[in-house]
């Protein structure tokens, strides 16, 4: 994977393109993610109902495809969907999946400097 692609996936997007966590139709938790790093952090923090709501609606896949443009992580998320997990088991699996991807992207040698 090239540096440009990594940069795109690790970018911080403007607020109108951020991911907003809801627990059900119209019920926004107040948590949002503007980057893959924030997305990974929010998975550990938000109400688990929000993870269940978005995962099975395909919202994570849509955001990762349309905004961060990371087909590899989309594929991994689809695998998590197939497990039909709920609750903390789902939270753990999602966190492991996203953090593994994040670590892979940030450990690859590139000229991109990720600001923490």
Partner 1 sequence: MKFKNDTPALDATDYKILELLQEDSRQTYTAIGKRLGIAHSTVYDRIKRMEEHTIIKKYTALVDAEKIGAKGITALMTVYTDPKESEKVAAKLAKARQVLEVYSSLSEELQILAKVFAENQESLHSFIANSVAPLPGVLRIRTAILTKTFKEDQFSIRNSMNEVRFIK
In the complex, which residues of this chain contact partner 1 (CB under 8 A)? 15-16, 18, 20, 22, 25-30, 32
Q: Among residues 55 and 105, whose Cβ is nearest to partner 1? A: 55
Output the smallest distance, CB 112 to partner 1, in A: 26
Nearest alpha-carbon partner for 54 in 27, 75, 36: 27
Output the smallest distance, CB 65 to partner 1, in A: 16
Q: Among residues 7 and 47, whose Cβ is nearest to partner 1? A: 47
Q: Among residues 29 and 81, whose Cβ is nearest to partner 1? A: 29
Q: Among residues 32 and 99, whose Cβ is nearest to partner 1? A: 32
Output the smallest distance, CB 21 to partner 1, in A: 9
Alpha helices by DSSP H, the chain: 3-9, 36-45, 48-57, 59-66, 71-82, 87-107
Max CA distance (Å), the chain: 41
Output the smallest distance, CB 113 to partner 1, in A: 27
Using alpha carbons only, what angle is made at residue 81 by residues 90 and 20, rounded to the nearest 5 degrees? 70
Tokens of 57: 């609606």
Tokens of 25: 């139709």
């Amino acid at each position: 994977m090239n540096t440009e692609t990594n940069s795109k996936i690790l970018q911080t997007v403007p607020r109108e393109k951020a991911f907003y966590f809801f627990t059900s139709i119209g019920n926004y938790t107040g948590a949002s993610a503007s980057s893959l790093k924030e997305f990974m952090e929010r998975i550990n923090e938000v109400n688990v109902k929000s993870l269940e709501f978005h995962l099975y609606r395909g919202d994570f896949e849509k955001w990762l495809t349309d905004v961060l443009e990371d087909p590899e992580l989309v594929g991994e998320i689809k695998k998590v969907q197939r497990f039909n997990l709920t609750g903390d088991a789902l939270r753990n699996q999602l966190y492991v999946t996203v953090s593994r991807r994040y670590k892979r992207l940030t450990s690859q040698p590139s000229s991109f400097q990720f600001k923490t």
